[in-house]
Amino acid sequence: MAEVIGTKQPAKREAPSPARFDDFFAPVFPVTRFFGRRPFELWRSMADEVDRAFGFVPKANEDFWTPVVDVRKCEGNLVVTAELPGLKKEDVKVELADNALLIKGERRTEHEEDREGYHRTERSYGKFYRSIPLPEGAGTEEIKAELGDGVLKVSIPVPEKKNEIREIPVQAGIAAKPAG
């Protein structure tokens, strides 16, 4: 029987793993890498960077949490409010350092569920830290902080700044010649 040499068998394609969305599209796009990355990896990393820019922490780093903080001036006070749902005053620390207000702490939640023959427990932990710069002359001795209904409110007396308005006389000058 003669031996056949040099024939190619068609390559078998394996089904892509559902765990990687990029791998599904690799056969469709002849170039599987874009600037050294697969297209959807690049997209995911850009989405993570946008999240970080707006204060959202990517899911890979859930041990840090950023609460919403509002700062406004009201009746001679600088009022800082932070949304801290579910926290007790023991979980929150308010400090003053280097002419800045520091709000920090940790949030811990646990949820247990027993139903139809199974038991489910979920735990979530997240530290937070916010630094709010204070204006010059802020009354750091009279700062008041209170926590109620998941909202921390810190009031700091600030001096009223007088706007100095001074008129500048306008003098007649030589008209500039157009460039040409």
129 DSSP β-pair partners: 104
Residues 79 and 56 both lie in one domain:
no
Domain shared by 126 and 48, yes or no: no
Let me know whether 76 and 119 are in one domain.
yes
User: Do 57 and 73 belong to one domain?
Assistant: no
DSSP, collapsed to helix, strand or coil, labels residue 23 as helix
**pLDDT score, position 69:** 92
Task: For residue range 13-39, list pLDDT tens digits in order.
Answer: 555 444 454 555 555 444 444 455 566
What CATH number is given to the structural domain containing 105? 2.60.40.790
Dihedral angle over CA of 134, 135, 137, 139, nearest 10? -40
Do 119 and 146 sit in the same domain of this protein? Answer: yes
Domain total of the chain: 2
Please give the Cα distance from 129 to 103 (Å, whole number).
Answer: 6
Report field, pTM of the whole predicted structure over 0.75:
no
Domain of residue 41: give its range: 21-61
Classify the phi-psi angles of 24: left when phi > 0, otherwise alpha if psi is within -120 to 50, otherwise beta: alpha
- 104, 143: one domain: yes
Q: Which element (helix H / strand E) includes 97?
A: strand 92-97
DSSP helix/strand/coil, 117: coil
User: Residue 50 domain-assigned?
Assistant: yes
